[in-house]
Amino acid sequence: MAKRKRHKNAGCPVARPLDVIGDCWSMLIIRDAFDGKRRFGEFQKSLGLAKNVLSARLRNLVEHDVLETVPASDGSTYQEYVLTEKGRGLFPVLVALRQWGESFFFEPHERHVLLVDRKRRMPIRRLEIRAQDGRLLGPADTMVTAA
Amino acid sequence: MAKRKRHKNAGCPVARPLDVIGDCWSMLIIRDAFDGKRRFGEFQKSLGLAKNVLSARLRNLVEHDVLETVPASDGSTYQEYVLTEKGRGLFPVLVALRQWGESFFFEPHERHVLLVDRKRRMPIRRLEIRAQDGRLLGPADTMVTAA
């Protein structure tokens, strides 16, 4: 299977992360973790995923330091999964994906959930790509160079 | 296979796009398309991917209106693949993924390619999540609500 090829030695910062999150279930587990879900059963209920598949995905995310396991917050014997610093670093990826989804995967009349600012309950701003001096950049205004 | 489940009717804007790009090869094809690659052979050389796999991924991206085929720019009989408006809408997703890769997948001394502003040749700014009134937001400052 081509999917088994790994990108961990690629010199490209787009390629390397895809070994960890280039799978739709992994991104949805991460979405749920940002949304406050912590327990195996909560992820399973949200995603409707077979236990063995969910278990493998969670293990992969823990191995790659995106999630970590902690004792249950209620003192029970369950373990919980929480985002690490590296995992929380995925917030802009998730927001970018969400905004792309909002723009191109829903009909104008179709309702969808919204990511809002907790304080004012207003949808967050659209992401913008900017130069160091603040200019707004489109794809054609950028290029990839050797470091 | 769990991967076959589709999210196209999910009410969540994070889930729907993953049917299209929740696969590491698709994101790398899209990266290459932003980088100016247009021909089957160029993608193949860049990704080192089996022809049948690349062909299936390209077809999927065309079917989902992320890429479109156009006659070759040099008048030859080849067809070329270019990003549609929906495909160009993935620019922030790719930038977010790139910045996460730069932060967590390279050693401090390790060199990687850089996305720079064409005009000044300086790396672009880090993405920021902001409220409508401009406040910088972290994950804990946001929440998902029904529309």
Query: Per the structure block, which two tokens stand in for A131?
Result: 């130069």
For chain B, give percent helix, strand, coil, nearest 5. Answer: 45, 15, 40
CB-based contact A132:A122 (threshold 8 Å) = no
Instruction: Enumerate the β-bridge partners of residue A115.
Output: B144
Q: Which of B104, B107, B114, B115 to mutate: most A Cβ within 10 Å?
A: B104
CA B90, distance to chain mean position in Å, is 5
Contacts of A6 in chain B (CB under 8 A): none
pLDDT given for residue B4 in this prediction: 55
**CA B67 – CA B59 distance, rounded (Å):** 9
Contacts of A89 in chain B (CB under 8 A): 100, 103-104
Sign of CA dihedral B21, B27, B32, B34: positive
Phi, psi of B22 (to 5 degrees): -80, 50
The model carries a pTM of: 0.93
DSSP state, residue A39:
S
pLDDT given for residue A24 in this prediction: 87
Say what the ipTM of the complex is. Answer: 0.92
Which one of A11, A124, A144 has the shortest CB-CB distance to B131? A124
Tell me the pLDDT band of A140, cut-offs 50, 70 and 90: very high
Distance from CA of B109 to the nearest CA of A (A): 11
Averaged pLDDT of chain A: 92
**pLDDT tens digits for range A45-93:** 999 999 999 999 999 999 999 999 999 888 888 899 999 999 999 999 9
DSSP string, A27-45: HHHHHHHHTT--SHHHHHH
Sign of CA dihedral B16, A31, A6, A16: positive
Distance from CA of B105 to the nearest CA of A (A): 7
